[in-house]
Each structure stands twice: as C-alpha cells, then as structure tokens.
C-alpha cells in the first residue's frame, strides 16, 4: 500500500494531458525500446483521435523504482466534467497541467475546484515552456491566484511547480533552457510524485470495500467493475456483495481480478487496499455501487456529479428514406442502447419521452450528447435528434430560473466589434474586457441557450483565430428571447432526386445543403434562405424538352459546392420545429411536420 501512488491528470482541453501520459509511459520503461507506439496512445476511441480531445477517462499504470503509479487520464472539455468528477474518487493527488502560453482557462478552474474540494494534493506543471511566447513565471502567479480564489488549504497552496514540455519530453524544477531540461527528461516529475503525492488513505486491516468508479465489458468475462479498493484485500474466488443505490444487495463471486500494467490489463491473484483494479463476477452493476464482503456493511459515499443543464430529444427515424442504411431502427433498439449508455456515463440522464419512440437525454452540453449520437450512428443506428433545450428550474417564489455560464473568449482585436454584437444578441453581459498585445480577452455571463451554435459563429467571425471556453456558473432569472438563426430555410415540396437545373435556380435564393443527384422528400430542408422566412421549393424540377432550340442550349450549369454540416453543426443549426435525421451514411435536416398543409394547420391551431 505504501508503494502505491494514485494520480489523475487534469487540465483545460488541449493543454497536453494525453501527450504527457505518453511521455510518462515511455520514460518509465513501460514500452519496449523497439516498440512502435502511436501518438496520444490513451486516446483509444475513434472520435477522440478525430477530434483530438479526450472523451472518456482511462486508466494506466507504470513502475518507477519500487513504486507502482496508477494514472487516470481525464477529459478537458467542460461537457465531459462527469468523467473528471468520478475519476477524482479513485486518486489521492492530481497533476494540474497549465499551458505556459494561455494560462489557466475555464476548465482549469472547474477541475481544480473539484480536486481541491476532494482534499487532493496538487502538483502544478507549466507545459509548453519551449514555445517562443511562453511566459511561465507570469502564468505561475496566475495559478497561485486561482488557488487562493478557490480557497485552497495551506498544504495545497504549498504546491510544487515544474516546467515541462510534454511534446519534447522533459519536466524540470528550475527553468534553464531546453538543452538543460532535455538532459533531465521526466526524472524530476517522477521524484516529485513520490515526494508530494501521499499513499492511498485506506485501511488494509479493515473489511474489503471497493467503490465502482468505471465500467467496462469483456466478451469473455462479462461486465467489469473498475474502482479503488478502500479497505482489506480481495482474491480470485472470494465471495463479494454489491450494495446498489436501490434494491436488495446482490451476491456473487470474483471470477477474475485484473490490474493495470501500462495500458494492458494483467491477471492478478489478489489485490490490496489502495490499488485500482477491475473485478469480474457481478452483472448489472452501476457506477457508484459499493463492493464488500458482507450484506450488512455500510456502503461508501456514492459518486455525485453536477446535474445536467441541456436536454435533447432522440426519436425513432420515421422519414420516407428511413431503414435503408441502419441495422437498429426500432424504439426497443434505441431504448436499450440509451439505458446501456447511462450505466457507464454518469453525466447523462435518460427518460422516456412524451410520445411513442422518443426519449429525453440530458447532459452538460450539446457536444456530450452529440458524441453519443455519433457513436450510435457508427454502430448502425438510425434516429432523429431535436434542437438542444436548456433545463429550467423554479425558485421558492415561483420565478423561472435558467442556467448561466461564464464565457471566456480570446480573439484578435479586429474582430472585437462583431463579437460584442453577437454576445448582445445572445443575451450576454460583458464583465471583463482586457486588451493584450494583439488580442483581446473577453469575459461575459451568458445564458446556456445563448451558447448554442456560438463556437461555430466564433470560428466564422475570426476565421478560426478565436478561442472560447465556458464554465457553468449558476441558475439565474430567465432572460429575454434569444434569436440564434436570423434566416429561414428552403424546404422541399416534392419527393424525388435533385436536378442540376433546379439547383442552379435555387442557389440564387440562398445557400444549398444538397448537391445534384441526391434523394429528397417533402419537408426536407435543402438549404438556407437569404430571407427570414421559410420558402417552399422544388429541387427536383427538370427542364422541359421541346422541338424548339432554346437560347440557353449548350450553356453549362455552374453550381456552388453545397454547405456540408457536421453532426454538431447540424444540431446547433436547426430550429425548434426541425429535426436532424441521422443515419450511418447521411445527415439530413427536416421539418418535424413534413406536409406543408399540416404545418400551416398546426401554426393556425397554435396561434388560435
């Protein structure tokens, strides 16, 4: 137990957590000298590699001297904060990574607040000090001020700080340049971990107890419960009891015990208090359950995460083109998949919707739910997704409250005017505006619903140079109406195949989402109108042939490339009366009510 160290790596998104894990595993000798290892080896999901971010917290370990160090790599994006919160229950200290150029960001504050509240010992690592515009000493002062703001204890304020470059592969206690630091490698960080991170706070002589903090599945072993052992020891073949949130305790037997060696799991004969292990032998386990030796034991405090602030509706796909690509189409398939997800994803909540074949999915942000939908799409599901909606509350006086977030934006000074216009339109209030060398830093309070689609708009406003991050602040009085989409859409009135002749005329009306030769149906959105109102169009219209030669005969048709929307962009774009149709091969935008006549009737009924 004294030879074990459990640490989590926490930081804002893209500050270098996964790259640091790569270096720690390499320089500790976890990989063979001739072994080929991919970059960001902890990013095992396809979506993580494509997006360049961590989505799920993952475990690894390495040995240094006579110590075993268990690592947990955590996400940096605010939408996946639930992964961070449950990971902190398995560790006794954290490595806080801060970019030596950008400094502490929104998610830095969030993850550090959770770590300090849990009483964990911090080590601060100023990453990317080898960059030309790095300012490590100034950033270190900002980090100390952040610790003071978050009311850290005296012991936590006495944190060690290291200067590092995860990409190059060094971490040093005093910054004397890249050449000197490279000679040291990660040795100073290894030593600091052993000195400053305490051994696990457990009771080896007590009865066996383990808190389930993660779940996995093996085709050979069934469900695996992953967590830290808080007391006693466990062996293969021992009887165990699962204490759930509700219901009677369930008995089982340990059929397999797995520890971590690098990235691989290895079979163990027994494990002792303080270690992080995976236990097989019980099914239907949930995150937060307690494993122990007897039914009359007191369960460990459950893992609690912040409540969700955004919800979306997922429905069975009922469009005219449904069932052509997907393997899982029915409400039963959709329900089973969603309820299977919430057993391993503590940040999501799922409820049955008000209509048949619909489900309400709640999470921290639209990106978290969009990642789930993208995973389902790749698994062969067909479904429809509604526009994100915020989750309102009521105070004691009956007033409606909505979630508010603190928004941080760093952008070029030339784009400040358009940004302030956008923030005003989205109901934001600017609290701080600071001019730096060539950029401007803006801090504002904005309703969560005002953030929908903001990052895409920021990319367009700043040509990709603006950086935004946000952090949940509080529930406050509901603000006025927010109009996020000023333009209407072009809605198909026909079912058929699009023609170049029709699209050439339609592109003068706005921006098209479809190209020639694509199948469309009545009620499908084929483009964005240049005017505020929706417009019914016929994208399948063909040129009438006669025996007379027309003036335009022989002229080529020139079409602009259609606008291609990603799943997240499509979800942010649609209006309250629209859906995104998601299939393994296509994304289509459509009206909830496909028939134009039925839509007019519904509008008349609503206004009556």
| Residue numbers belonging to the annotated binding site for GTP | 14-19, 127-130
Q: What's the distance, CA 85 to chain centroid?
A: 13
Q: Which two tokens stand for residue 595?
A: 């028939």
Task: Report the chain's C-alpha Rg in angstroms.
Answer: 27
Place of tokens 């893209």: 14
Q: 67-73 and 4-11: which strand pairing?
A: parallel
Q: Is the dihedral of CA 526, 532, 536, 542 positive or negative?
A: negative
Closest CA to 250 of 214, 218, 295: 295
**CB distance 160 to 196 below 8 Å:** yes
Residue 327 exposed, middle or buried by CB count within 10 Å (0-12, 13-18, 19+)? exposed
How many Å apart are CA 559 and CA 515, to the nearest integer? 8
DSSP 170-205: EEESS---HHHHHHHTTHHHHHHHHHHSPPP--BTT
Residue 468 structure tokens? 């935004």
Q: Say whether 116 sits in a helix, a strand or coil.
A: helix
Q: In this structure, what token pair is assigned to residue 38?
A: 């991919």
Position of tokens 């602030």?
309
Rounded to whole angstroms, how far apart are CA atoms 476 and 399? Answer: 10
Q: Output the known binding site.
A: 14-19, 127-130
Q: What is the DSSP string of 376-405?
A: HHHHTB-EEEE--EE--EE-TT--EEEEEE
CA torsion 369-375-379-383 (nearest 10°) is: 30
Interacting residues of 411 by C-beta distance below 8 A, sequence separation 6+: 419, 439, 440, 442, 458, 461, 462, 465, 466, 467
Partners of residue 239 on adjacent β-strands: 253
């Amino acid at each position: 137990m004294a030879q074990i160290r459990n640490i989590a790596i926490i930081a804002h998104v893209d500050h270098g957590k996964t790259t640091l894990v790569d270096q720690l595993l390499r320089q500790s000798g976890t990989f063979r000298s001739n072994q080929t290892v991919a970059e960001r080896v902890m990013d095992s999901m396809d979506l993580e590699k494509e997006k360049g971010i961590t989505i799920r917290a993952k475990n690894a370990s390495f040995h240094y001297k006579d110590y075993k160090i268990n690592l947990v790599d955590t996400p940096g994006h605010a939408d996946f904060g639930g992964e961070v919160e449950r990971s902190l229950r398995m560790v006794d200290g954290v490595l806080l990574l801060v970019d030596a150029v950008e400094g502490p960001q929104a998610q830095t504050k969030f993850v550090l607040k959770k770590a300090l509240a849990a009483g964990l010992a911090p080590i601060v690592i100023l990453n990317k000090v080898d960059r030309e515009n790095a300012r490590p000493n100034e950033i270190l002062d900002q980090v100390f001020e952040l610790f003071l703001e978050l009311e850290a204890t005296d012991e936590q304020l006495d944190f060690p700080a290291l200067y590092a470059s995860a990409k190059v592969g060094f971490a040093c206690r005093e910054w004397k340049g890249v050449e000197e630091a490279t000679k040291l490698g990660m040795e100073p960080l290894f030593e600091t971990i052993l000195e400053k991170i305490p051994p696990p706070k457990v009771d080896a002589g007590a009865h066996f107890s383990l808190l389930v903090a993660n779940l996995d599945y093996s085709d050979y072993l069934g469900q695996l419960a992953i967590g830290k052992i808080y007391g006693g020891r466990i062996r293969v073949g021992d009887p165990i009891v699962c204490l759930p949130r509700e219901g009677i305790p369930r008995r089982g037997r340990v059929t397999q015990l797995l520890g971590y060696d690098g990235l691989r799991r290895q079979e163990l004969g027994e494990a002792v208090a303080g270690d992080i292990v995976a236990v097989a032998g019980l099914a239907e386990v949930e995150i937060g359950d307690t494993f122990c030796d007897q039914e009359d034991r007191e369960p460990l405090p459950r893992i609690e995460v912040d409540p969700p602030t955004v919800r979306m509706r997922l429905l069975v796909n009922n469009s005219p083109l449904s069932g052509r690509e997907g393997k899982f189409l029915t409400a039963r398939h959709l329900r089973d998949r969603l309820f299977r997800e919430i057993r391993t994803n503590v940040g999501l909540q799922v409820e049955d919707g008000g209509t048949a074949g619909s489900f309400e999915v709640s999470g921290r942000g639209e990106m978290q739910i969009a990642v789930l939908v993208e995973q389902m799409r790749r698994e062969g599901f067909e479904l429809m997704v509604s526009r994100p909606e915020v989750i309102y509350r009521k105070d004691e006086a009956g007033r409606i409250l909505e979630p508010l977030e603190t928004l941080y934006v760093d952008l070029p000074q030339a784009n400040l005017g358009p940004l302030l216009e956008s923030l005003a339109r989205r109901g934001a209030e600017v609290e701080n505006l600071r001019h730096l060398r060539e950029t401007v830093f803006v801090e504002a309070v904005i309703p969560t619903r005002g953030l929908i689609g903001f990052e895409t708009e920021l990319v367009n406003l700043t040509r990709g140079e603006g950086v935004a991050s946000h952090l949940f602040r509080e529930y406050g009085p509901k603000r006025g109406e927010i109009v996020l989409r000023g333009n209407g859409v072009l809605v198909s009135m026909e079912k058929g195949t699009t023609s170049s002749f029709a699209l050439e005329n339609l592109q003068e009306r706005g921006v098209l989402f479809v190209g020639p030769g694509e199948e469309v149906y009545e009620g499908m959105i084929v483009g964005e109108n240049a005017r505020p109102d929706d417009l019914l169009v016929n994208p399948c219209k063909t040129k009438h042939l006669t025996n007379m030669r027309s003036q335009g005969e022989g002229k080529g048709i020139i079409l602009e490339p259609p606008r291609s929307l990603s799943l997240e962009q499509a979800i942010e774009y649609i209006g309250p009366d629209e859906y995104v149709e998601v299939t393994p091969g296509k994304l289509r935008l459509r009206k909830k009510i496909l028939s134009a006549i039925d839509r007019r009737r519904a509008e008349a009924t609503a206004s009556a």
